[in-house]
Copies of this chain bind each other. A is one copy, B any other.
């Protein structure tokens, strides 16, 4: 058994080192909306793709459809390309075309990458993210070098980081019904929301002056009853986001863990805890809680949870593959953004 376990570990390692060849036909571009400067950069990118990759059809957001500044017709005329090679996506189109796109390019910051995650609630194509200024945790390519980087990605074998997402299902407690046959009361719950999150699910007291009381279950066993401003259920990818503010550790993206980080806990002993990603978690607003709680999914989709409502959380079958720019990109990102490490000697304060 011990050697099987070791074999699984080696399998994981091999898997994370596997390179795959992308055969890109349908390429999607996602940018931050309402940002004029991005429009011109998008145009530059599309035109370059038209010219250099004649087999690729490019999908841009439908808000660019009639944009004179983007100028799809001009691009095609200038690059002498078939107009049908520039197409438009919207949220519904993405939803209806599972397994359709071969690659997603993003222009923007980490927020744009999170938006891509929210678009693809099922299978996610590889995502390559350009930063326009300084690199972020999720944006590991610089736009200014796209003409160097994209051919390498499109023409050869690449490595992707399969970032675990959490499948969160929110259930509302309904009035119990009576079984007409037995006369027994039956608990009734209703699924009211479902989200795949890339960073974290946050459950907090929102505007309430009272702390909330949250029951945390793992595989249906009660782990703890948290009295706190809230709890964060984070992926390794989310370890550099809100969880870090709340005191959580850094977690390498490929670690197989779900992290529970309390927000301002009301006991001194409530340390962050890392649970295996094979565990199914449940957070339930205690019936004794003085306050309702508010859930947010990657910071969006705010939802009020009343007493007895709960959310189940488990590792999603739909992970989020990001194209790896180089093997040390995670350490580089925490060094750069958090000063976690500097390659030169750390400045000591004593």
Which A residues lie at the B interface, using CB under 8 A?
A: 1-6, 8-13, 15-16, 18, 20, 110, 123-124, 160, 162, 206-207, 209, 211, 213, 218-219, 221-229, 236, 240-242, 244-252, 254-257, 259, 263-279, 288, 294, 296, 299-300, 302, 315, 317-319, 321, 327-328, 331, 334-335, 337-343, 345-350
Query: Which residue of B is nearest A137, CB measured?
Result: B349
Quote the shortest CB–CB distance from A83 to chain B (angstroms).
33
Query: Which residue of B is nearest A302, CB measured?
Result: B209
Q: Could you tell me the distance between the alpha carbons of A350 and B271 in the complex, rounded to whole angstroms?
A: 16
Q: Could you tell me the distance between the alpha carbons of A294 and B338 in the complex, rounded to whole angstroms?
A: 28
User: Are B345 and A240 within 8 A (Cβ)?
Assistant: no
User: Are A274 and B274 within 8 A (Cβ)?
Assistant: yes
User: Are B221 and A249 within 8 A (Cβ)?
Assistant: no
Quote the shortest CB–CB distance from A276 to chain B (angstroms).
5
User: Are A15 and B5 within 8 A (Cβ)?
Assistant: yes
Say yes or no: A11-B9 contact (C-beta < 8 A), given A271-B340, A331-B218: no
Q: Which residues of B contact A277 (CB under 8 A)?
A: 9
User: Are B271 and A250 within 8 A (Cβ)?
Assistant: yes
Q: Which residues of B contact A18 (CB under 8 A)?
A: 1
Q: Could you tell me the distance between the alpha carbons of A125 and B261 in the complex, rounded to whole angstroms?
A: 35
User: Are A5 and B288 within 8 A (Cβ)?
Assistant: no
Interface centre among A13, A226, A276 (most CB of B within 10 A): A276
Say yes or no: A221-B341 contact (C-beta < 8 A), given A15-B4, A15-B5, A160-B1: no
Quote the shortest CB–CB distance from A101 to chain B (angstroms).
14
User: Are B245 and A274 within 8 A (Cβ)?
Assistant: no
> Could you name 20 residue pairs across A and B whose Cβ atoms are closer than 8 Å?
A1-B18, A5-B15, A6-B317, A9-B278, A10-B278, A206-B207, A209-B302, A221-B327, A223-B331, A225-B341, A227-B345, A227-B348, A244-B268, A244-B271, A250-B271, A254-B276, A267-B346, A267-B349, A268-B349, A269-B340
The contact of A268 among B296, B338, B342, by CB within 8 Å, is B338
Query: Which residue of B is nearest A242, CB measured?
Result: B350
Quote the shortest CB–CB distance from A9 to chain B (angstroms).
6
User: Are A349 and B331 within 8 A (Cβ)?
Assistant: no
The contact of A257 among B241, B257, B294, B315, by CB within 8 Å, is B257
Quote the shortest CB–CB distance from A62 to chain B (angstroms).
25
